[in-house]
């Protein structure tokens, strides 16, 4: 390699890390979604207290803006992915920042239920979809396939790590300036942060992107169109596994955290922070591990470990549950949940290429939204009927075992495709 080539390679690597870290920063801001429980408590307290200016919502509808935001987030990823593929990540990320900011600014002016549905559920949810979809694809394009898992894990870890600073910041703002002013501060702050970092989010030149994608890989690369992946059986297998893996994690994380809060009292934020570190750590560890031992092997390990944790949770969550055990359990479940967010974008890149990665992963990401919406609702229904989460944990454990078994079908299908391509 000549000196000039070496210098170009070094410059490309540095620029790649700038893009990856900017994407991580954008996700750190958009992770405000995980602070909903704090906003929810403030709304609930206002409804209970009543009086002039109080929230006049039905208690059963308090979680609606969050539930809608998760769904809008997931399905916006399809539109945002297409937008990112066509117009580039910089404009996509900036649009995400503007949408999230406008949503928070809207809800800062009112306590009307429909306004919060529109502001937090639709505008902020859509903004998260646009911002999130723009963070990972450009970062992956700057690095060779051998680093796909690592880079995907680092970028998406920002979203999982966000509660470490957002939770205490939100509590401080609520106690000093109140809910409405806090929303305005978040709206302005996140707009500025996301739009500023978006300036560093760029795709590499086509020639360098092609070189990076071919480096350290002798496998033929095919770029699938979105219509093509819908004809690929692997898409539906991955979608179902993602639905179960993400949904099972989400259906219990909030429940375990709530129980830990009851035991820890004013120190509850420590449990939330530790769980967030576990969530973020799972994304990085799974990314690195999948680069070493393969995506499918890592996925099997993650699903099996998560199933064991679900069954182990049943005796732990009995009466007078130990706060430390609950926190550890939630942290490991959060760790395993986080692995999904690194593994599945890596699968999408490996199987279907980078050309249409934004929209292709957007289609796959709908599994996350549906898993969150359906399985969380199922868990709450089971709890309402039985009075505890034991049956919900048993159901989650069973589903995770099924999804682990499904990965063997995925392995067989992938082997057949690779054999056909070789011949």
Instruction: Take residue 166 and report the two structure tokens written for it.
Output: 């957002």
User: What pLDDT, on the 0 to 100 scale, is given for residue 256?
Assistant: 57
pLDDT tens digits along 198-236: 999 998 886 555 455 555 444 445 789 999 999 999 999
The tokens describing 229, both together, are 């992946």
- φ, ψ at 175 (rounded to 5°): -80, -20
Class of domain 223-423: mainly alpha
Sequence-distant (6+) residues with CB within 8 A of 371 are: 242, 243, 244, 245, 246, 247, 248, 250
Q: Which of 218, 78, 214, 47 is nearest to 141 (CA)?
A: 214
Q: What is the pLDDT of residue 86?
A: 87
pLDDT of the residue at 72: 92
Thinking of the domain 1-216, which architecture would CATH place it in?
Answer: Up-down Bundle (1.20)
Domain boundaries, the chain: 1-216, 223-423
Integer Cα distance of 161 and 56 in angstroms: 33
Cα distances (angstroms) measured from residue 96 to each of 226, 317, 351: 22, 39, 27
pLDDT digits (tens, 9 = 90+) for 100-135: 999 999 999 999 999 999 999 999 999 999 999 999
- Quote the distance between the C-alpha of residue 412 and its chain's center: 28
Mark the ranges of the chain whose per-residue pLDDT is less than 70: 1-13, 206-221, 253-269, 317-321, 412-423
Measured over the CA atoms of residue 327, residue 328, residue 333 and residue 336, the dihedral's sign is positive
Identify which of 225, 325, 331 has the alpha carbon closest to the alpha carbon of residue 277. 331
DSSP 51: S
DSSP string computed for 357-415: HHHHHHHHHHHHHHHHHHHHHHHHHHHHHHSSSHHHHHHHHHHHHHHHHHHHHHHHHHH
Query: What pLDDT, on the 0 to 100 scale, is given for residue 266?
Result: 62
Q: Do 1-216 and 223-423 show the same overall fold?
A: yes
In this prediction, residue 4 carries a pLDDT of 45
pLDDT computed for residue 345 by the predictor? 92
CA 178 to chain centre: 28
């Amino acid at each position: 390699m000549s000196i000039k080539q070496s210098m170009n390679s070094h410059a490309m690597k540095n620029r790649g890390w700038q893009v990856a870290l900017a994407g991580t920063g954008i996700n750190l801001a958009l992770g405000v979604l995980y602070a909903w429980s704090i906003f929810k408590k403030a709304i609930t307290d206002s409804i209970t207290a009543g009086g002039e200016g109080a929230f006049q919502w039905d208690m059963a509808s308090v979680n609606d803006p969050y539930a809608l935001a998760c769904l809008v987030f997931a399905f916006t990823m399809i539109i945002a992915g297409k937008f990112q593929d066509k117009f580039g990540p910089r404009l996509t990320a900036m649009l995400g920042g503007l949408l999230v900011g406008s949503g928070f600014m809207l809800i800062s002016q009112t306590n009307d239920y429909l306004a919060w549905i529109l502001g937090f559920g639709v505008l902020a949810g859509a903004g998260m979809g646009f911002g999130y979809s723009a963070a990972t694809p450009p970062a992956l394009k700057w690095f060779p396939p051998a680093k796909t898992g690592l880079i995907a894990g680092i970028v998406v870890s920002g979203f999982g790590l966000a509660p470490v600073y957002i939770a205490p910041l939100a509590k401080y703002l609520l106690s000093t300036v109140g809910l409405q002013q806090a929303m305005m501060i978040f709206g302005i702050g996140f707009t500025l942060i996301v739009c500023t970092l978006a300036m560093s989010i760029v795709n590499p030149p086509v020639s360098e992107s092609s070189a990076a994608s071919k480096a350290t890989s002798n496998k033929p690369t095919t770029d699938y169109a979105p219509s093509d992946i819908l004809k690929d059986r692997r898409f539906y297998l991955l979608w179902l596994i993602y639905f179960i893996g993400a949904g099972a994690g989400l259906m219990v994380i909030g429940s375990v955290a709530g129980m830990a809060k009851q035991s820890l009292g004013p120190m509850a934020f420590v449990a939330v922070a530790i769980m967030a570190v576990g969530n973020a750590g799972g994304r990085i560890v799974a990314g690195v591990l999948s680069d070493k031992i393969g995506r499918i092997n890592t996925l099997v390990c993650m699903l099996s470990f998560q199933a064991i944790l679900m069954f182990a949770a049943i005796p732990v969550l009995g009466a007078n549950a130990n706060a430390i055990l609950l926190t550890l359990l939630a942290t490991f479940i959060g760790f395993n949940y986080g692995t999904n967010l690194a593994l599945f974008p890596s699968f999408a890149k490996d199987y279907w290429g980078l050309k249409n990665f934004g929209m292709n992963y957007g289609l796959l990401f709908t599994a996350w939204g549906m898993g969150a919406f359906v399985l969380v609702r199922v868990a709450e229904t089971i709890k309402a009927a039985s009075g505890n989460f034991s049956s919900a944990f048993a159901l989650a454990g069973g589903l995770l075992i099924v999804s682990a078994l499904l990965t063997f079908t995925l392995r067989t299908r992938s082997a057949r495709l690779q054999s056909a391509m070789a011949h």
